[in-house]
Structure 1
Amino acid sequence: MTLGSEEYWLSEVNKAPELVENAVAVMPTPSIWSKYVEFKVNESKDALLALFKQGLEETQWHIDKSQTFWLKYMEFLKLQFSELVHDAYIQRLSVPHVQLDQTFSAFSDFVQERNLNYEESLGSASHIADKTRKMVALREKWEYEVKSSGGSLKVDRLRQYLEWELGNKDAFNFARGLFERILALNPADERLWHRYIWHIWVDKVPFSKIKIPADTKAARELIDRAVFCLPNSQSLYATKLRLQPSMEGAIQLFAECEDSGIVGDELLFQFLFSVKQLYRENGISIEDLKGVFEKHIDSLPKLVFTSTLVLDIDQNFAQDMLMKQLKQFRNDSLFWQHFASVNFRKSVAVYKSVKRSDKIYIEFMETKVILDTFTHGTPQEIEKAYSLMIPLQPTKKRQLDISEEPAVKRSSKSQRDREHASIVVQGDISVDELHDLLKNLKVVSVTGNKTRIIELGTKSEKMLALSRLNFAKKFSLNAYDAENTTLWVNNYPPYWHDSNLKTKFSEFGTVLDLRIPSHEKRERRRFCYVQYSTAQEAATAVEALDGQNGLEVRFSDPSQRRSRTDALEEGREVLVRGLPFSMSGDNIEVFVKKYSNPSSIRVPPGRRGQSNDGFAFLDFDTAADAANAAEALSDKFVSGRKLSAVVASRQKASKPKQSTVNTLSVRNYGTSKAELLELLGEFGTFDVQDDNGGLKVTYTKIQDAGRALLGLDGRELNGQKLAVRNLAERGMKPRTIG
């Protein structure tokens, strides 16, 4: 029996009825609310009416069991407030619940008993019920599957149901009810609590419009419930800190966490971040803010991150914090990157001084010193700096350090290094004028309007370009290094598209560019690149979002991409196929560990409401372990399905022709053409033609077609599963639109 679950509270209330007040605060299910009003039966009728209305508000989206509490409410009304019964029936008919037909039948009997105008009353009620019935009908299959399941399988079904609901438009409250139903069974699911809080706090209200305390009241009530069920969760307490309406409250809560021994880096960072937000929103003095930071500044292992927290408030204070950590982190490249983003000239001067005394060598700062020379040096110094740039560039052949692993051969083609060879330019200048200024340099791409991103061929060319642009007398330009401004984002929710991503990341700074290769390449894994205008904005986003609700947010670094494929390249990765679609990631882990000991397990999220897509990847420490695991897992049976397991290898996928990607064939939509067109429009601009019982849909943008294919194929529309295919797969000639 799990602490905080519905079963736990019902058991506790049976032993001690007075605990029902705690129970209804932590787990407000229909059953517990019924116990609560029974406990309050001696209250005045007006007080009971208010309690019933509160209970109805909190339980009505339990569309499977809310009827039990509503029937108790109707018994009360008939005895104490008979004049309210008619309106209560009408209101109930507008709320989706699986017993809707019984409610309508009971209302019909009520109308006859009261001798009301039968045709008028039933006609109006029937119209309301018909709209509600359509919403219930869309969910009947899910409710049946949940009702037919038990134990952990029931929780898995509810999770699949929730993912389907989160992908629906205007389904905020339906999803809220499912969050409650899952947590009533498994309140120890930390990740689900985070998703639920995010759903209540952000999805309902645009992030930029959230104000403390008004719009966060429901989220604060929810986080109180979460920390009761998981009292040692550092991440939940971090969220609770973010929701505090005052600095005094944040300080008190953080002190309580310290006393309880649950403080860690994540909680400390969130505490400082929260204090900064309260400074912005509630008018806390800068002296109070500095006092809090200075008290806790030495507790973080990498204080350079806190410099980013206060940089946009007080640059001198951020610089002071970095100087305090200079002795500890002078050999850390990341430290110098932050220092350069706070005060470039100061970081160069300090680096030169430290280099002379401590004999350190930081490649990142070496390039900054050269850049500073180009900007401020004499002609002789500039000439010398240019000669120093050559050793900083990677050569075709170099001696391998004895401590270094041989690099994995990725491709015979040279790799672009967009993140390290790009600059940002602000100012009034045309693309042609830019090319004139940068002649004799390799310009790979120029994007943007007033603020442009220019990708050069090499780091050397990047530094030369910065020098030319900043010293162009004809133009008033601000050009700076774009290094550490681009983030790699992985595993974002499947229902997030371009606008969701841009809105989300814009909360932390100005987003200059958003690239979604997973859409363009029609890949199932969801990843994208987000480029900010400054490195400190990017760092703030990493600290705030990495790890939140499963998100991976990191600085993009092409040189690190090799490590993501090491297991595959070295034969240490096993691909397991044939897994039951309903099998959760935890259950998959338990099963495979019976036969092997993988170092990591990756289960790609399923589509169409499934827990997984039927396969998983297992990484092992050695190729021999991988081979043994593949042999051990092959031909095993799980839930009647036979598994296959092989050591994975890289297979070069055939690249689809660009001219065929933007046109789709859509079939099996029945009589719901108007609704289908509305769905298609969510993915982008398109043109449409009838196509022998189906539709031929041509999107203006290739990536929009890719997203539509992934998002709509197999999706239910009024009881039918859509069939969406790339037109090339049907052997038909695509067309283009201008």
Structure 2
Amino acid sequence: MGQPMAEELQNVRTSMASILLLSEQQWIDWTEDENIPTELIPVIYKESVKYFPSVTLWKRYTEYLVQRFDEGDIDHKAVLEELATGAYLTSYRIPNSHLVWNIYRDFIARGLEDPEKKDDSISQLKLLYQARLGVPHSTLSETFSDYSTFITTYDNANYETELVKANKIYSAALKTLEVRDTWEISIKENDSLENYAAYIQWELSQPKKYQESKLVMALYERVLEKYPTSFAAIWDDYILYMSLMGVSTTEVLDLLRRATRACPKSGDLWGHKIRLLQILRDSPEDIDYVKESVDNIGFFKKPENYKEWKKVEIPWLHFLRRHFTDSSDEKRLEEFVLEAEVAFTRAISQGKDDTDFELEKFLISEWTLLEDKDQARTIWNRVSKYHGDLAEFWIQWAHWEKAHGDYQGVVDVFTKALTRNNIDWVERVLQEFTDYENAHGTFYSIQQALALCRGRLKYYQAQRQTVYDDSNKRAYEEFKPVEVIESRPLKTQKMDVDQPTELTVNIESTVSTTTPFNNAPKPRDREHNTVIVSNIHNISKEDLQKFFAECGEILEITINNGIATIEFKTDEGRLAALTKHLKDINGTQITVHSGQSTTLWVTNFPPSETEASLRKLFSDFGSVLSIRFPSLKFNTHRRFCYVQFASAEEALQAQQALNGKSLTSSSDQKSFDLVVKISDPSQKKERTGAVYEDRELFVKGIDFEKVTEAKLRELFEPFGPIERIKLPLSKTNERKGRLHDGYSFIVVKDAEAASRAVTALNGMEFEKRTIHVSIAAKNTNKPISKVVAAGNDDTPADSESIKARTVEVSNLADTINDTQVSDLFAKYGTVKRVVLRPEAGTASVEFTQVQDAGKAALALDGHELGGQALRVVSRGETKSSTMFVPRTTMRRAPLRKRRI
């Protein structure tokens, strides 16, 4: 490479290193560049470990220093200081810290060969070994063995004393290391971000007396070696942890210099940097320069990045105001006034969706500290135009007026709030208003306030009865359920694998059994009566039950991923629970948010999807608290579920991303377009269709050989238009040459026509047989579901052969469908058919090969599916009932005759 090009490359690298975090490989390439001037190499090495202090780079740097020492270019003291620094900074990197420490030790050990330095070197090495034995690292046992050899060689007279002392140190470190062995193995096998995050979380969850802050910080360094520029949140967590542990501001600031180079688009990191520079007022890095650096990053100027920009702007404005109040620097005050105006203008135009209105509140507090209350009120008024639908906004404004204004100012705020028709939690505003009036008002003003509040409350209650989300309503109205095969009831007699079961009809179906509306129990409303409680570490379900008991009747409390959902019987209970936000339980401050709009209604997914697969799909968008499937006891073809997130924002993001997404069934490769909607029980529609509208007739007793569809149509048409006629025909009856199975379903235009047909035709003689006509029952019988997976040749099979290749499954969750059962058992052989009985929690699985049934029974007995351990046995192992009732002795229900 020519000299000009080499210089240009050097300038580019220098420029990049000043604003961005170079990778480990980029530093290695730089130090290995033969065109780099010799005098710059140590500088580049030093910069590399300053901004990317990995074990690899420290090892290269220390080896380079030792080489330079051997060549006579560096003195002993300078090398020793750098080696000590490297060994210290990397000492808690469990897997490979020995690579640097060994170089440090060996360099000191050179003094053992010099009679003048030998005694000092022995003393230094003793202290070095003893310190190292107290640090958990992968070669701890070798270190102890090396120390034993060292003492034997250089201080054998005190061997026992030294080793006893060393063993005590070593044992404690070994115990610490062994506790982390599982985690270290896991990281070695898979150094994913998730594994590192779990490891760090485990470290932080340990009791304080067992926590090793240096190991935690080393873990952060290790994950940053792997993911240096990918996730700003890692840097942010690391910085806050160091601050919490009392690490010096200078060290934290050094980390921040690396962080802002790695993730220059993170407002959190730049904000930390400005705050820490204010603490170190003698820092050579000027705060103005930091703000100028941020202003030069185009990312922060884009409207969609308002929230990140806000995180930098707030500490910058705080610095300007604080600098003025501390030093009376008028120039800083002028800067603050101009910057505050610019910031507020941007907040109005780009921050309307920021429901925390953090920047606006900060500006109000700053103007209040500068004793300009008029300017603060101006901001309150302007913000009310776009955040006036938030109850929290009005309450905070009222509290500000209480502290900095007068009685009338507070009343004016509440009065203005009550002119709004869309406050998200108006009850809280009304309660605050009446509480304030009761404490500070006159009898007349209190009465006026109560009347105003009562009127507004009635208005909001009326609105809630009639207004709901239009878009969600349209989605429910437009959605057409997938067409499914109607499930059939299980016959009580022995099942013929080739003969279909008959649909039993309630002979009394024509008698009205309508329950009066007022006597019907109020349906459960999880979506509207639930709150979500976070930050519940060390808080049990019993603690939550006791704490929220006064709010109202609690139906259910569930805890998942450190977050609790509490369902109340009424909406009033939910509203009362929301007042517990930021209250303490057992010394821990909890957060309470409404559970509304956090639950998704999901349908039209492949039947093979399980809770685990759906959780994986939805977890990309946030914390999934629960997935609820419906019971299949009364309909084996129900295929939907409810997915609850920790926040409404996460649920909306998932809904927008996944609604309409195409999923492929693992069993038959069919494609399904996923339907995902925000769950709203108020929009649940009554079931529709002929059977639910009482216009489907069930006719039995029909002659197998004489009656055709045309004859039935001719018989029933006088009572009203016929939509369709169904005459089922089984394989068995087809082989016998029959026209049908002797019964029929007939759908007529309306319920009146159906009723007329029942009255006229039930019990009459038709083609020399008495037919029975009734309104078809709404599937009140116990359903089964039969899925045929393979080998269905519809030929009679030997019952013993079927029994030998069939397994019986029990303790099956009633949310598991037949496809999921088939997919599970198909791993052990070809499944011919699955018969599911969800009401009994059982299923029969028939294989094509006898040996496959045996393998499945052995492998899956005790297997967990749907949260329950399956009981799986070969049908040959099941005990048959010894009770047998001959068919001729069975009592038959008398046939109800039609009165003439």
Q: Give deviations 1:689-719, integer Å, cap 9, x for gaps.
A: xxxxxxxxxxxxxxxxxxxxxxxxxxxxxxx
Supply the AA of the counterpart residue of 1:260. I
> Which residue, 85, 96, 100 being the options, matches 2:125?
85
Say whether 1:562 aligns with 2:596: yes
> Which residue, 76, 91, 111 being the options, matches 1:60?
91
CA distance in 2, matches of 1:287, 1:528: 51
Q: Give deviations 1:513-540, integer Å, cap 9, x for gaps.
A: xx9x99x9450233479xxxxx9xx99x
Q: What is the match of residue 455 of structure 2? A: 391
Q: What is the match of residue 229 of structure 1? A: 262
Cα gap change, 1:227 to 1:646, in 2 (>3 Å): same
Give 1:195-210 correspondences, 5 Å limit.
195-202=237-244, 204-205=245-246
How many residues are paired up? 502
Cα offset, 1:269, TM superposition: 4.5
Cα offset, 1:603, TM superposition: 5.0
Cα gap change, 1:389 to 1:156, in 2 (>3 Å): closer
Q: Give deviations 1:673-704, integer Å, cap 9, x for gaps.
A: xxxxxxxxxxxxxxxxxxxxxxxxxxxxxxxx
Cα offset, 1:159, TM superposition: 3.5
Say whether 1:21 aligns with 2:46: yes
CA distance in 2, matches of 1:330, 1:648: 31
Q: What is the match of residue 112 of structure 1? A: 152
92-101 or 234-243, larger mean C-alpha shift: 234-243
> Which residue, 95, 119, 123 being the options, matches 2:135?
95
CA distance in 2, matches of 1:576, 1:282: 62
Cα offset, 1:377, TM superposition: 5.9
CA distance in 2, matches of 1:240, 1:636: 56
Contact 1:307 1:321 in 2 (8 A): no
Cα gap change, 1:376 to 1:417, in 2 (>3 Å): farther
Q: What is the match of residue 332 of structure 1? A: 387
Cα offset, 1:63, TM superposition: 1.2
Cα offset, 1:69, TM superposition: 0.7
Cα offset, 1:232, TM superposition: 2.7
282-291 or 255-264, larger mean C-alpha shift: 282-291
Counterpart of 1:61 in 2: which secondary structure? coil
CA distance in 1, matches of 2:140, 2:384: 65
Cα gap change, 1:271 to 1:156, in 2 (>3 Å): same
Contact 1:244 1:250 in 2 (8 A): yes
Contact 1:571 1:623 in 2 (8 A): no
Supply the AA of the counterpart residue of 2:147. F
Q: Give deviations 1:587-638, integer Å, cap 9, x for gaps.
A: x6xxx5xxxxx796335599xxxxxxxx99896899999697585265699x
Counterpart of 1:284 in 2: which secondary structure? helix
Q: What is the match of residue 656 of structure 1? A: none
257-266 or 305-314, larger mean C-alpha shift: 305-314
Say whether 1:128 aligns with 2:169: yes
CA distance in 1, matches of 2:668, 2:30: 43
Q: What is the match of residue 452 of structure 1? A: none
Cα offset, 1:243, TM superposition: 1.9
Identify unmatched segments of 5+ residues in structure 2. 1-19, 112-116, 301-305, 352-356, 477-520, 541-550, 566-577, 583-588, 627-642, 682-900
Cα offset, 1:342, TM superposition: 1.3
28-37 or 314-323, larger mean C-alpha shift: 314-323
Q: Give deviations 1:160-198, integer Å, cap 9, x for gaps.
A: 333322222322111111111111111022111111111
Counterpart of 1:563 in 2: which secondary structure? coil
Supply the AA of the counterpart residue of 1:219. V
Give 1:523-672 correspondences, 5 Å limit.
523-527=559-563, 558=594, 561-565=595-599, 567-568=600-601, 577-578=611-612, 601-602=621-622, 632=664, 634=666
Counterpart of 1:142 in 2: which secondary structure? helix
Contact 2:267 2:311 in 1 (8 A): no
Q: What is the match of residue 49 of structure 1? A: 80
Identify unmatched segments of 5+ residues in structure 1. 206-213, 420-486, 500-514, 530-534, 540-551, 593-597, 607-614, 638-644, 653-738
Cα gap change, 1:271 to 1:343, in 2 (>3 Å): same
TM-score, scaled to structure 1 = 0.55
Q: Give deviations 1:423-458, integer Å, cap 9, x for gaps.
A: xxxxxxxxxxxxxxxxxxxxxxxxxxxxxxxxxxxx
Contact 1:246 1:278 in 2 (8 A): no
> Which residue, 278, 297, 300 being the options, matches 1:260?
297
CA distance in 1, matches of 2:612, 2:603: 24
CA distance in 2, matches of 1:163, 1:102: 30
CA distance in 2, matches of 1:622, 1:266: 23
Contact 2:129 2:147 in 1 (8 A): yes
Q: Give deviations 1:99-139, integer Å, cap 9, x for gaps.
A: 11211222222223325322233232222222222122222
CA distance in 1, matches of 2:129, 2:212: 23
CA distance in 2, matches of 1:96, 1:144: 15
> Which residue, 79, 92, 103 being the options, matches 1:72?
103
Supply the AA of the counterpart residue of 2:242. I
Cα gap change, 1:405 to 1:77, in 2 (>3 Å): same
623-632 or 377-386, larger mean C-alpha shift: 623-632
Q: Give deviations 1:33-84, integer Å, cap 9, x for gaps.
A: 1222344433321122211221122100111111111111112102246242
Q: What is the match of residue 671 of structure 1? A: none
Identify which of structures 1 and 2 has the higher relative contact order when contacts are C-alpha pairs closer than 8 Å and 6+ apart: 1
CA distance in 2, matches of 1:623, 1:416: 16
Q: What is the match of residue 297 of structure 1? A: 340
Counterpart of 1:257 in 2: which secondary structure? helix
Contact 2:253 2:273 in 1 (8 A): yes
Contact 2:21 2:51 in 1 (8 A): no
Contact 1:599 1:621 in 2 (8 A): no
Cα gap change, 1:414 to 1:397, in 2 (>3 Å): farther
Q: Give deviations 1:714-733, integer Å, cap 9, x for gaps.
A: xxxxxxxxxxxxxxxxxxxx
Say whether 1:181 aligns with 2:199: no
Cα gap change, 1:384 to 1:498, in 2 (>3 Å): same
> Which residue, 401, 426, 438 being the options, matches 1:343?
401
CA distance in 2, matches of 1:282, 1:95: 48
Say whether 1:10 aligns with 2:28: yes
Cα offset, 1:233, TM superposition: 2.5
Supply the AA of the counterpart residue of 1:320. Q
Q: What is the match of residue 400 of structure 1? A: 466
Cα gap change, 1:106 to 1:182, in 2 (>3 Å): same
Cα gap change, 1:351 to 1:96, in 2 (>3 Å): closer
Q: Give deviations 1:78-102, integer Å, cap 9, x for gaps.
A: 2246242222222211211111121
CA distance in 1, matches of 2:601, 2:80: 63
Contact 1:307 1:318 in 2 (8 A): no
Identity of aligned residues (%): 18
Q: Give deviations 1:645-665, integer Å, cap 9, x for gaps.
A: 998999x9xxxxxxxxxxxxx
Q: Give deviations 1:5-24, integer Å, cap 9, x for gaps.
A: 43443333323545222210
Contact 2:31 2:44 in 1 (8 A): yes
Cα gap change, 1:275 to 1:246, in 2 (>3 Å): farther
Supply the AA of the counterpart residue of 1:119. E
Counterpart of 1:64 in 2: which secondary structure? coil
CA distance in 2, matches of 1:605, 1:4: 39
* Two-structure CA RMSD over aligned residues (Å): 5.5
